[in-house]
Amino acid sequence: MEDDRYHYPATVFNLLVDTIPLLCKSKKDVMLFLEGAGIHRDDLAEMWLKVRMDRDSVGKHEIVRDVLQKANKRGDSGLTARREVIKRVVEFEEFSTCWPTDVYKAKSHVNDLRKIVHAKDAFTRMKQERDAAHEETVRRARTERAAIVAKRKKIEEVRDRLSALFGMDAEPQRRGKLLEGVLNDLFHAYGIQVKEDFKRINPEDGSVVEQIDGVIDLDNQIYLVEMKWLKDPVGVNELAPHMVRLFSRADARGIFISTSEYTAPAISECAHHLSNKTMILSSVKEFVALLASERDLVAMLREKVNAGLIDRKPFHEVLA
């Protein structure tokens, strides 16, 4: 099994051993080529001694093989020099310095090494791109999981707060105000843009001219939201102020949320105006059922809006 520390695969190693001697006329030139690439002097020492003392005892190919084997064994510490050797070979262009009989073979070997290096570089780039894409996918999945967990936690908190309101019979006014915050936080949890407790102020004296429990953006449509914790069924009189607000705004739609039921005249009045103004009636019971079943709030609201616009049913109760 090839040592993982080796920078050169066998094909590249053998090609270097065959090519470098062709690029250098003498054994001394071979040594200078390797030395110039930054090969450690300890890896060159034995061959330098042979070249200087008895040059006939060693050949150019043997020199290159011995030195590169030693450089390979250095692992990461010899990486820079090994890469420089390849760089010098693939960028070699002065073939006039070769022996005339070696020029064609040298060019062929250099070209072969270039193809291998370019292919390896391309493979490395593709691997890097794949790794980057994988990391991005993992990061995105991690972010999505975190968002899902955070959303579930927010929804569970809203569910618990809503349940707690049913035990506040002794504080009806405070309970009504808390209901607004609970349902607005529920809209937030499902990614619905909310403007809470909207007030229109008289610029002359600073008095509150108009107050709306909430304003939401659903599918690029603005809805004025009214929330009431009422004991008796909602009649026309209870709906009238909200209807007036809607008719004073050309493009606004309305949602009325109540803990109690709706009277038949109230539902009929909303249905009568559906051609000119969309008004959707909802019950807190629907939101309790939604939280218990962990369904999607946006899908529920869309179903109710479609029932009003298409079937002319302003009060389409969605409990499952």
Domains of the chain, residue spans: 10-126, 172-311
Place of tokens 């692992």: 75
Q: What is the pTM of this model?
A: 0.56
Looking at the domain that runs over 172-311, which CATH code has it been given? 3.40.1350.10
Q: What per-residue confidence (pLDDT) applies to 5?
A: 37
Q: Measured in whole angstroms, how far is the alpha carbon of residue 86 from the centre of its chain?
A: 39
What size, in residues, is the chain? 320
Q: What per-residue confidence (pLDDT) applies to 198?
A: 61
Q: How far apart are the first and last CA of the chain?
A: 63
Q: How many CA atoms lie less than 13 Å away from 284 in the CB half-sphere?
A: 23
- Phi/psi for 9 (5° steps) reads -70, 165
Q: Spell out the per-residue pLDDT of the chain, length 320, in tens.
A: 344 434 678 888 899 999 999 999 999 999 999 999 999 999 999 999 999 999 899 999 999 999 999 998 887 788 889 889 988 998 898 898 899 999 999 999 999 988 888 767 655 665 666 777 788 888 999 999 998 898 889 889 989 998 998 888 888 888 888 888 888 888 888 888 877 666 556 566 655 556 777 888 888 899 999 888 888 999 999 999 899 888 888 888 999 999 999 999 999 999 999 888 899 999 999 999 998 888 899 999 999 999 999 999 999 999 87
Q: What per-residue confidence (pLDDT) applies to 7?
A: 67
